[in-house]
Amino acid sequence: MFDFLLVPLGYVIKFAYSLTGNYLVSILLFALLIEILLSPLQIKQQKSSIKQAKLQPKVNAIRKKYAGRTDNVSKQKMQQETMDLYREEGFNPAGGCLPLLIQLPVILCVWKIITQPLKYLTGMSTDVISKLTTAAKSLNVNLGTYSEMGLSNWLRGGSQFVQHSAKELNIDLASLKLPEFKLFGLDLSPNPSINPINWLVIIPILVFLAMWGSMVIMKKFTYQPPEQADAQNRLSMKIMNLAMPALSTWFSFQMPAVVGVYWIFRNILSVAERFVITKIFPIPRVSDEDIKKAERDYGGKLKEKEEKKPPVRSLHMIDWDDDELPPPTFDEPEDEEDEEPEEAETEEKGGSGVIDRVPMKDEKKEKEKKKKK
């Protein structure tokens, strides 16, 4: 099902092996090629760290604004403001996880290619591989855990029976370029083992040291928020940092030692790549002015103060609070003379309907006297 990916990768290892004639060197070149292909993701991860470093003063200001508030509503508001900030700035907190997720599928592909060299390195068909396996087992040849690796070593032996079997199956042994899984004359095709112990246990130990060392060094070159850096000092995080290398070491015992060698190369090259990328795209340092500006924009008092709504009061006098509401006032009635409405006089002629000013009381009495006369 994954041959569309495994076959091209197998051709890469085959090409590297044809250039060097050394299988371990070809594995090293393959690991280097994988690092180059994944470098855009590593650069993207570094740029994401740079953006996170620039946004950290604002994130800290938001956290400071809600410091001391332990209720769920305040926590939700703090998270919402932080996510709104990330959304406005176009920052994805999970954007740097992709390179880590890709490493495991790549390791599985390498394991598949290394353990099936006849299929992915020589292009031998499944039917021919099956017939060779049957022929080898008829001679009680120990093919080991991975039969194709055992067949490759058996075919490289070039015994008389091997040549006879190859002739019957129309196999040109000279053109196959079968890989030799050896380092200083020592075979790396078996699995490392403790019971019974073999010298290959050195490979898982080196895998543990390489992965643990790379994690420690990578933290020096990778930006970590203050809260994450504090979490690294906790006992649980220290155990987790040891658990990952330990898990890789366990996998190294379940695979041929050659896969462990690739893992060692991979970790060393990852550290070198991270060092170069960090020099090209350095993490910016946050100044005191940036912190003060972020606190002015996001910290201290809430940007939008909650309006205090007046309390709902009962209509009954007994519910009034003397401290918050003024006591009711009852105005005394004015004199009857003051309460009499004064009618406005309109123009008698012209019918304009314009309202004249209201005359004073003295003026009204004088006009009545004139009319009587």
Pull the structure tokens for residue 359.
Answer: 């005359």
Separation of alpha carbons 212 and 243, rounded Å: 10
222 against 108, higher pLDDT:
108
pLDDT tens for 323-356 read 444 555 545 454 444 444 444 444 444 444 444 4
- pLDDT, averaged across the chain: 76
**CA 152 and chain centroid, separation:** 42
Q: Which of 129-133, 152-156, 200-204 shows the highest mean pLDDT? A: 200-204
- In the predicted model, is pLDDT for residue 184 greater than 60? yes
Cα first-last separation, the chain: 125
Determine the pLDDT at residue 153: 85
Contact 54, 65 (CB under 8 A): no
Amino acid identity, position 108: L
Best CA proximity match to 348, nearest among 372, 371, 316:
371
229 against 141, higher pLDDT:
141
Determine what percent of the chain is predicted with pLDDT higher than 90. Answer: 11
**Strand runs (DSSP E) across 151-300, as ranges?**
182-183, 186-187
- In the predicted model, is pLDDT for residue 230 greater than 60? no
Mean pLDDT across the stretch 236-258?
Answer: 85
Determine the pLDDT at residue 342: 45
- In the predicted model, is pLDDT for residue 96 greater than 50? yes
Determine what percent of the chain is predicted with pLDDT higher than 70. Answer: 74
pLDDT tens for 273-282 read 989 999 999 8
224 against 324, higher pLDDT:
224
- In the predicted model, is pLDDT for residue 306 greater than 50? no
- In the predicted model, is pLDDT for residue 268 greater than 90? yes
Return the SS3 of 182. Answer: strand
Least confident segment among 153-162, 240-249, 271-280: 153-162
Contact 155, 166 (CB under 8 A): yes
Separation of alpha carbons 53 and 23, rounded Å: 43
113 against 353, higher pLDDT:
113
Determine the pLDDT at residue 202: 93
- In the predicted model, is pLDDT for residue 253 greater than 60? yes
Pull the structure tokens for residue 118.
Answer: 């006849």
Pull the structure tokens for residue 75.
Answer: 């926590």
- In the predicted model, is pLDDT for residue 239 greater than 90? no
Position 210 confidence tier, pLDDT thresholds 50, 70, 90: very high
Return the SS3 of 223. Answer: coil
- Other CB atoms within a 10 A radius of the CB of residue 77 amount to 16
Axis crossing angle, helix 235-254 with helix 257-280, rounded to the nearest 10: 140
Separation of alpha carbons 25 and 15, rounded Å: 12
pLDDT tens for 29-64 read 999 998 898 888 888 888 888 888 888 888 888 888
Pull the structure tokens for residue 73.
Answer: 């509503």
Determine the pLDDT at residue 192: 92
Distances (CA, A) of 199 to 191, 196, 260: 10, 10, 14
